[in-house]
Amino acid sequence: MSQETLKTHLEEAFAKNIRTDGRKLLEFRNITIDRGVSSTAHGSARVRAGNAEIIAGVKIDVGTPYPDTPDEGALMVNAEFLAMSHRKHEGGRPGIDSIETARVIDRTIRESKSIDVKKLCLIPGEKILMVSVDIVPIAYDGNMIDLGTIAAMAALQDARIPTVHEDGSVDYENLTENPVPLSHLPIAVTVFKYDDMLVVDPTEVEERYYDARLTVGTLDDGTPCALQKGGSASFTVEEIEEIISLAQKKGDELRGLLK
């Protein structure tokens, strides 16, 4: 089927509120979460949704603080669209899609202030804990920002801080009982616009044809903490209002999976 025909076909179906896999436009796939999937990570999780499988792994290291925040620990979020996960992804340096995904997930978690970075400081100005989250699709099937955020949060919930000795050396093999301090469960919901129709959680095929998208990161009480508009088309202010309220509602549903 030619690309244009497929786009028309999808949009005709969307107009009848039906998707290729039978879902309604504002319906997520069934999401399952498994924690503790990697024995070498300090926290890890696998998220499955339809044909998508995403793994997030946390490593916690001791490092030196940034000069402008001497009493704060550090959070780093990285995502890489593995060539393994879909034929459209190429190996080599992370492309712009990987970079945007990582930055939007990073922003959602960071700006939620869920992680109390002050608690990750060991010796002000000298030693801090650095929490790194790596998110990769094993099997790619669309909606990486939303599913990746869930995987990242589940892996952070699963994480335990390694033993740090007096001299600042780290015993990576012996984890303490201490979790990463999380005060919120930030969730990202991306709403995709096709013509004037709004869709959530697209598959890879659906994702090829969106006109614009808006990611809204929210806190437990629905307060937005991050936004990212993508795609070449535009939104009206009314649409943005509708999308934010939709993201709050869907965010609540997804947050339930992490509790």
Closest CB to another protein among residues 178, 245 = 178
Q: Which is nearer to another protein, 46 or 184 (CB)?
A: 46
Nearest 5°: phi and psi at 240? -60, -40
Contacts with another protein by CB under 8 A: the residue count is 35
Q: How far is the CB of 248 from another protein (least distance, A)?
A: 32
Region of 84-92, 103-111, 120-128, 189-197 interacting with another protein (CB under 8 A): 84-92
Residue from 19, 33, 65, 134 touching another protein (CB under 8 A): that is 134
Contact criterion met (CB below 8 Å) for 131 and 120: yes
Task: Tell whether residue 20 is a contact of another protein (CB under 8 A).
Answer: no
Please, are residues 26 and 229 in contact by the beta-carbon 8 Å criterion?
Answer: no
Q: Given the complex with another protein, which of 84 and 197 has the nearer CB atom? A: 84
Q: What's the CA angle centered on 31, arms 249 and 111, to 5 degrees?
A: 50
25 close to 206: Cβ distance less than 8 angstroms: no
> Is 101 one of the binding residues for another protein (CB under 8 A)?
no
Tokens of 60: 């916690």
CB atoms within 10 A of CB 86: 16
Residues 158 to 177 in contact with another protein, rule: CB under 8 A: 170, 172-173
Tell me how far, at minimum, the Cβ of 31 lies from another protein, in Å: 17
Smallest distance, another protein to C-beta of residue 153, A = 16
| Beta carbons within 10 angstroms of residue 183's beta carbon | 11
Q: Does 205 bind another protein (CB under 8 A)?
A: no
Q: Tokens standing for 64?
A: 């030196």
Minimal distance in Å, beta carbon 81 to another protein?
12
Give min distance, CB of 104 to another protein, in A: 18
| Alpha helices for the chain (secondary structure H) | 3-15, 96-111, 144-158, 204-207, 237-257
> DSSP letters along 134-178, please?
EEEEEE--S-HHHHHHHHHHHHHHH-EEEEE-TTS-EEEEEEEEE
- Least separation in angstroms between residue 205's CB and another protein is 11
**Residue 207 binding another protein, by CB under 8 A:** no
Is residue 41 at the binding interface for another protein, with CB under 8 A as the rule?
Answer: yes
The Cα angle at residue 159 between residues 155 and 164, in degrees rounded to 5? 150
Q: Which residue type is seen at 115?
A: I
Contact region with another protein (CB under 8 A), list: 113-121, 132-140, 223-231, 249-257: 132-140
**Smallest gap from residue 194 Cβ to another protein (A):** 22
Q: Does 257 bind another protein (CB under 8 A)?
A: no
Closest CA to 248 of 220, 209, 226, 214: 220
For another protein, the binding residues (CB under 8 A) are 37-42, 44, 51, 53, 55, 57-59, 61, 78, 80, 82-87, 91, 93, 132, 134, 136, 138-141, 170, 172-173, 204
